[in-house]
Amino acid sequence: MALLVDRITVADLTLAGRLGRRSAFPPEPAKAGSLKMTTRSLLQELRARFAEALNAVAGDSTPVDPQVRASGDPKFGDYQCNAAMALAGRLKRKPRDVAQAIVDAVEVADLAEPLEIAGPGFINIRLKPESLSGRLGRIAPVGEGGVNPNRPELTDRFGIPPVADGDRLRVILDYSSPNVAKQMHVGHLRSTIIGDVFARSLEFAGHDVIRQNHVGDWGTAMGMVILGLWYRETRRRRGETDDVLRRRLVDLQSARESGVDERRALLQPIATDWAADLSDANAAVEPVRLEQLELGYQFVQTLTTVAEKTGVQAPGPDGDIELADIPRLVTQMLQTGGEGNEFERALWEAARAASIGYCQELYDRLGVLLRPEDVRGESFYHARLPRVVDDLRTALTGEGRTAPDGAKAVFREDQGAACVFVYEPDGKPRYANPDGEALPLIVQKSDGAFLYATTDLAALRYRVSELHGQRLIYVTDPRQQLHFKMFFDVGRAMGWAAPTTRLEHVTFGSVLGENRRPLKTREGGVITLARLLDEAESRAFELLHERQRAAESEEEGAAIPRFDEVEMREVARRIGIASIKYADLCRDRNSDYVFSWDKMLAFQGNTAPYMLYAYARIRSIYRRAADEFPDAQPYAADVTIQLDHPTERALALRLARLPETLESIVDELTPHTLCAYLFDLAADFMRFYEACSVLKAPDAASRASRLRLCDLTARGLRLGLSLLGIPVIERM
C-alpha cells in the first residue's frame, strides 16, 4: 500500500472525452460459447455442495444452513463450514465425528485441498490454486464495443451472470423522496446516495428495479406553500421585491413572542393587502425558484404562528376567516379539487415543478440514476385514499384481521379520527407509548384529512397489485421507523402485501459536524446540498493543485504531464462528488458519522481519492507494460493465470470473491461491505505488485498472467465503484 500513498504523482491524465478510450491492449473479443460463464459464486458453490453433504449425513433432505463462510484468518483456510456442531446436537453424535462424516461426504476435491477439521468440529476449506485460476480464467475480456464510461457495469459484468429467471424479483425502490418547497436535507442526501447503490446493484444482479421518488407534494404543508407563492406573486405584481418580503418575514419572526396588540398591529396591514390582492388571482403564475418558494413558505408559516389567537381576519371563500386558518383551508381546497380552485392548483403545480427541477439538478450533479419519470409523489395516490380508509373500516372493524406473524389489526374511531390498532397474539398492543397506551396508526383525521400513513398504505397496494412488486425497499432516516413498522403490519393484515412480499425499511445514521453537532457551513449557516457539493469540488480542486505543485518541484516531476485548468476542474468535480458519496457509503449505514472534509478527501485510507487513485495507478502500470511489450496478449487463449507467489494467490482469491460480495449487498443492502472489499482488493493488488514485477517478469507467460491479474483488478475496481455510483478516472 505504501506504494500508493507515499508519493502521489500526477500521472498523465485522461479526461472525460478520453475516458472511454480502449486500453492499450486490445482485448481479445470473446468468442461466442468459447468462454463458459461461472454460474455460481464460490460461496454459493461451496454452500450448495456442503448442503448436499449435510443432508447425506443427516439422512434427510430438510434444508439446512450449511454455515459456510469466508474465514476471518487465513490460518483456518479460505472458507469454513461450521455446521457440524449444530448437526451433531440434532443427531446426538460427537461434533468431530459429524465433521468427519461431512468431510467424507462432501464433494469438493475439484475445488479445495484436502479438508481439515479443527477445534470442536470446524471444517477448514483451502481452495486449490488451479480452481482459483480456472475461475478467474473464465472471465472473458471486455467485449468489442469497449466499456461505457458512464455505466461500466452494463458493458463489463466481470463474468458474473444475472440471477436465474426463477429468482428474478420485481423490486420497488423508494428513495430520496424529498418534500416540495423545501431544500433536501442531509437525510435526503443519504437516502439518495444509498438508494442509488441499491438501484444499481439490484439491477446488476438481474432484478427488475422500479424506482419511486415518493416526493411529499400533497401533505398539510401544501396550503402554506401555495399561499406563500400566492402572496409573493401578488406582491411582486405590485412591484415589491423579495427583499421587502424578507424584511417583513424578519419583523414577523421577531414578533412571535410579543403581546396580542403588538401582533395585531403588525398583521392588520398584511391582512388588508391580502384582501385587496384576492381579486388579482387569475393571471398566469411565473415560474419560481426553490429559494423563492422557501421564502414564501416560511413567511406564511411564521404568519400563521403569529396570527394564532389574534382574531385578525381576512376574506375566505365563504366570508371572513381567521388568518391563521387560511393555510388549512387552502390545503383542503387543493385536496378536494373541484371548481374554482384553478389558481391554487396552478400555484401548486408551479411549486411542484420548481421543487422537482431543483432536485433533478442535484441528482444530475450527483450522478444518480433518478429521473423525473421516477417521481410518483404523494399526490398521485390522493384519489385512492378514501377507498383505503373504507376498506380498512370494513375489514378491520370489530374482530379485525390477523397478519401471518400473528399481529392483529383492528379498526376503531378514536376522538373522531379513523385509526388502526395493532395487537400481539396475547392481546397486548404492539405499539404503545411509555405509559403502555396503544398507539394508533391514524388514517383519517376528524376533519376528514388523510395522512402520511394513508398515502403509504395506498402506495403499498399500488406497488404490489399494479406494479407487481415482490420486494419493496424504502430508504429513509430512522425517525420514521415506527411509521413503517405500523403500516407494514396493517398492510400484511389486510393482505395488501402477500406473505412472500418482502417489505424492507432501510435506515441510516445521522451526519454530524466535526463538533458532533448537526452540520453547519463555515459561517455557521445551515448547509444546503448544492453548497455542500460546491465545497467538495472546490476543496478537491485545491488538493489537486497542491499535489501538482509538489510534483513540479520534484526532479522526476518534470516528466509528469500537467493538468490544465479545464482538466483539473473536471477531475476535481469527480473526486469531490465521489468523496461525498464514498464517505457516506463506506461505513455501516446505521452508524452516525462525523462529516470531515479532511478525512473524506484524504489520499490515504478507505476513501474515494484512494480508491480512484488505486484504479488509475493500475491502469498506468498496465499502459506502461503495454508500451514496453506490445506483443503481450494477457487474454490470449493459451495464457494461464499463475498463482505461484502468495501475493498472487491472495489477489486471485480476492478477485474470485467479488461475486459473493455483490450478492451480499443484494441480500443485506450493505454498501459498506463493497467498499471494504474494494479497499482490500486495492491493498492485495499493491502487495502483489511489490512482490511480482510485471515489467521484470521472468518470462512472457508469467508476464501475461500478471498483466491479466492487473487488468482483472482494474476491472473489479471499476465495476465495484460503478455500483457505488462512482465513475472511475483513467489517469490522475
Q: Summarize as ranges the residues that interact with ligand ARG (CB under 6 A).
A: 174, 177-179, 214, 216, 456, 459, 474, 476
Q: Half-sphere exposure (CA, 13 Å, Cβ side) for 619?
A: 25
Distance of closest approach, residue 174 Cβ to ligand ARG, in angstroms: 5
Distance of closest approach, residue 169 Cβ to ligand ARG, in angstroms: 19
Distance of closest approach, residue 257 Cβ to ligand ARG, in angstroms: 29
Residues 622, 710 contacting (CB under 8 angstroms): yes
* Gap between the Cα atoms of 116 and 80, Å rounded: 10
Which residue lies nearer to ligand ARG by CB, 230 or 380? Answer: 380
Distance of closest approach, residue 481 Cβ to ligand ARG, in angstroms: 12
Which residue lies nearer to ligand ARG by CB, 241 or 465? Answer: 465
Distance of closest approach, residue 480 Cβ to ligand ARG, in angstroms: 6
* Gap between the Cα atoms of 35 and 451, Å rounded: 56
Distance of closest approach, residue 424 Cβ to ligand ARG, in angstroms: 25
Distance of closest approach, residue 182 Cβ to ligand ARG, in angstroms: 8
Which residue lies nearer to ligand ARG by CB, 139 or 368? Answer: 368
Phi first, then psi: what are they for 37, rounded to 5°? -80, 140
Residue 198's alpha-carbon distances to 205, 428, 514, 584, in angstroms, are 10, 36, 28, 14
**Closest alpha carbon to 652 in 732, 710, 609:** 710
Which residue lies nearer to ligand ARG by CB, 11 or 458? Answer: 458
Grid coordinates given for 363:
441528482
**Closest alpha carbon to 540 in 548, 551, 550:** 548
* Gap between the Cα atoms of 662 and 202, Å rounded: 9
Which residue lies nearer to ligand ARG by CB, 451 or 543? Answer: 451
Distance of closest approach, residue 681 Cβ to ligand ARG, in angstroms: 34
Which residue lies nearer to ligand ARG by CB, 234 or 454? Answer: 454
Which residue lies nearer to ligand ARG by CB, 121 or 216? Answer: 216
Distance of closest approach, residue 384 Cβ to ligand ARG, in angstroms: 14
Distance of closest approach, residue 179 Cβ to ligand ARG, in angstroms: 5
Which residue lies nearer to ligand ARG by CB, 454 or 661? Answer: 454
Quickly tell me which residue has 476491472 as its cell.
715
Residues 439, 431 contacting (CB under 8 angstroms): yes
Grid coordinates given for 434:
411509555
**Closest alpha carbon to 214 in 56, 344, 376, 366:** 376
Distance of closest approach, residue 126 Cβ to ligand ARG, in angstroms: 47
Which residue lies nearer to ligand ARG by CB, 131 or 179? Answer: 179
* Gap between the Cα atoms of 171 and 297, Å rounded: 35
Which three-class secondary structure string do you get for 498-566?
A: CCCCEEEEECCCCEECCCCCECECCCCCECCHHHHHHHHHHHHHHHHHHHHHHHHHCCHHHHCCCCCHH
**Closest alpha carbon to 583 in 517, 511, 535, 691:** 511
Phi first, then psi: what are they for 295, rounded to 5°? -60, -50
Which residue lies nearer to ligand ARG by CB, 41 or 177? Answer: 177
DSSP class of residue 672?
H
Distance of closest approach, residue 501 Cβ to ligand ARG, in angstroms: 15
Quickly tell me which residue has 423490486 as its cell.
171
Distance of closest approach, residue 334 Cβ to ligand ARG, in angstroms: 17
Quickly tell me which residue has 486495492 as its cell.
682
Distance of closest approach, residue 584 Cβ to ligand ARG, in angstroms: 17
Quickly tell me which residue has 455460481 as its cell.
40
Which residue lies nearer to ligand ARG by CB, 324 or 473? Answer: 473
Which strands sit side by side in the sheet containing 170-174, from one edge to the other? 208-212, 170-174, 471-475, 502-506
* Gap between the Cα atoms of 227 and 229, Å rounded: 5
Which residue lies nearer to ligand ARG by CB, 45 or 217? Answer: 217
Grid coordinates given for 396:
378491520
SS3 category, 44: helix
What DSSP line would sit under 445-462, residue for residue?
-TTS-B-HHHHHHHHHHI
Quickly tell me which residue has 389567537 as its cell.
309
Which residue lies nearer to ligand ARG by CB, 476 or 702? Answer: 476
Q: Which residues contact 646 (CB under 8 A, 6 or more apart)?
A: none
Residues 275, 205 contacting (CB under 8 angstroms): no
Which residue lies nearer to ligand ARG by CB, 67 or 301? Answer: 301
Length in residues, the chain: 732
**Closest alpha carbon to 115 in 46, 43, 65:** 46
**Closest alpha carbon to 341 in 186, 177, 226:** 226
* Gap between the Cα atoms of 468 and 463, Å rounded: 6
Which residue lies nearer to ligand ARG by CB, 133 or 501? Answer: 501
Distance of closest approach, residue 388 Cβ to ligand ARG, in angstroms: 14
**Closest alpha carbon to 584 in 675, 720, 666:** 675
